[in-house]
Amino acid sequence: MKGVLRVMFRPAALRIAALVAVLCTTVLAAERLTAENAWVPWAPPAIKVHAAYLTIVNRSNVDHVILGAESPDYERVELHGSSIRDGLNVMRSLDRIAVPANKQVAFEPGGLHVMLINPKRTYGVDDRIRLVLRLGSGDQIETSAVVRRRAPGNDVQHHRHHGSHQ
Amino acid sequence: MSGRRRVLVAAAAGAAIWSGVVAAPRVNAVILDNPSPLQAFVLEDHNGRRFTADAFKGRWSLVLAGFTNCPDVCPFTLANLEQVVSELGLLVRPDRLPVVIFLGVDPDRDRAILKDYVVQFHPDFLGVTGAADQIELALKSLEAVAKRTEPDARGGYQIMHSAAVAVVDPEGRLAAKINPPFDPAPTAHFLADLFRRPDNPISEKAR
């Protein structure tokens, strides 16, 4: 019985310690690395592949790296980069995106985007999409993206081109 | 005047685009000295109607290749073209306004949702797609290409496709190609100038 008790108690203690550690690091990470102005262009219900755009701001002196993204509102989420190569639009899946110390990385049309696949319901304008970005440090950033119609000024003007995300 | 092309850079200097300097809005386009007639192909539009090379006759068209599983560049380009046509409305007569045509190069996934995908940007935009060999013929005439990427572990794939928008004249000939970015105002001015060129079909009729 003694052995069984040990097995039962020790994992619980570890779990509490781990939880405390996770809570602390999440708070620290949130102070230093933020996801801002996240939005998803509205698409008709028949369209099942969407994109999220946002800006990741690293206000710390530490380099960070984004390793993946998730959303409880979609079946699958991938990090993608669009670029133009030899006159062709090329979209590729990325497994890490660097966010250097004191820099920001913009996810914007024609460049980086969070690809959202198979929405779990239909989203309308002003709805919120939950996003979680996983960092190399083990922390994560949570944000919510607002569903918006594309309009002049929110993407047309800010297009960077010719594959600046190599 | 053989088949040579003239590289035309409207507005700001083209050099600035390539050196990465932030330049004023510009258009990076090529006008064909001798517009080339489109070869025959048979596709279907998003209403299920037959769409052949002849369908281009009688009006200007802006054609881009893309696929409906493309969430970033294709919608972004379509949104830009909507703005371009809107700006053009202030510059040219309504009968010279171009129709925007989206050539879906991923027919298996495009067919069912092509209309929804295209008309979200403007009710007059037209989606067309069809059999793979007919899409190839249309792409060739438009001097465009599309290539499927190797499937990933889940069987998912992307399609690499020409970034340029083809400008087809009212006689069904490829007249110009516009490369990104499609900044609305300068692109509209570029097109208005192109439509007014004295050797263009509708311009002559209008005289």
The pLDDT assigned to B153 comes to 85
Arithmetic mean of pLDDT, A106-119: 97
In tens digits, what is the pLDDT along chain B, a chain of 207 residues?
A: 444 455 554 443 333 343 444 445 689 999 999 999 999 999 999 999 999 999 999 999 999 999 999 999 999 999 999 999 999 999 999 989 999 999 999 999 999 999 999 999 999 999 999 999 999 999 999 999 999 998 888 888 999 999 999 999 999 999 999 999 999 999 999 999 999 887 766 544 444
- For chains A and B, CB pairs below 8 A equal 92
**B189 contacts: CB under 8 Å, gap ≥ 6:** B10, B11, B27, B91
Q: Which residues of A touch B110 (CB under 8 A)?
A: none
Closest residue in B to A80 (Cα) is B72
Cross-strand pairs, A69: A133
Give the residue carrying structure tokens 């959202």. A116
Tokens representing residue A122 in the block: 């239909």
The answer, for B10 touching chain A at a CB cutoff of 8 Å, is no
**In chain A, where are the structural domains located?**
33-158
Give domain A33-158's CATH architecture: Sandwich (2.60)
The pLDDT assigned to A72 comes to 98
The answer, for A92 touching chain B at a CB cutoff of 8 Å, is yes
Question: SS in 3 state form for chain B?
Answer: CCCCEEEEEEECCCHHHHCCCCCCCEEEEEEEEEEEECCCCEEEECCCCEEEHHHHCCCCEEEEEECCCCCCHHHHHHHHHHHHHHHHCCCCCHHHCCEEEEEECCHHHHHHHHHHHHHCCCCCCEEEECCHHHHHHHHHHCCCCEEECCCCCCCCCCEEEECCEEEECCCCEEEEEEECCCCHHHHHHHHHHHHHCCCCHHHHHHC
The pLDDT assigned to A19 comes to 55
Q: Which residues of A touch B145 (CB under 8 A)?
A: 88
Q: Which residues of A touch B18 (CB under 8 A)?
A: 162
Cross-strand pairs, A91: A82
**B42 contacts: CB under 8 Å, gap ≥ 6:** B50, B51, B52, B130, B134
Give per-residue pLDDT as tens, A7-34.
Answer: 444 555 555 555 555 454 444 554 589 9
Q: Point out the residue among B20, B72, B117 whose CB comes nearest to the CB of A82.
A: B72
Q: Point out the residue among B72, B147, B161 whose CB comes nearest to the CB of A110.
A: B72
Asked if A47 and B79 come within 8 Å (Cβ–Cβ), the reply is no
Q: Is the pTM of this model over 0.90?
A: no
How many angstroms separate the CA atoms of B29 and A89, rounded? 17
The answer, for B179 touching chain A at a CB cutoff of 8 Å, is yes
The answer, for B52 touching chain A at a CB cutoff of 8 Å, is no
Asked if A89 and B163 come within 8 Å (Cβ–Cβ), the reply is yes
Closest residue in B to A92 (Cα) is B158
Q: Point out the residue among A44, A88, A113 whose CB comes nearest to the CB of B162.
A: A88
Residues 115 to 134 of A: which have CB under 8 A from any B CB? 115-116
- Would you call A2 helix, strand, or coil by DSSP? helix
Q: Contact at 8 Å (CB) between A58 and A33?
A: yes
Q: Which residues of B touch A162 (CB under 8 A)?
A: 17-18, 20
Q: What is the ipTM of this complex?
A: 0.84
Domains of chain B: 34-206 (3.40.30.10)
Q: Contact at 8 Å (CB) between B81 and B101?
A: no
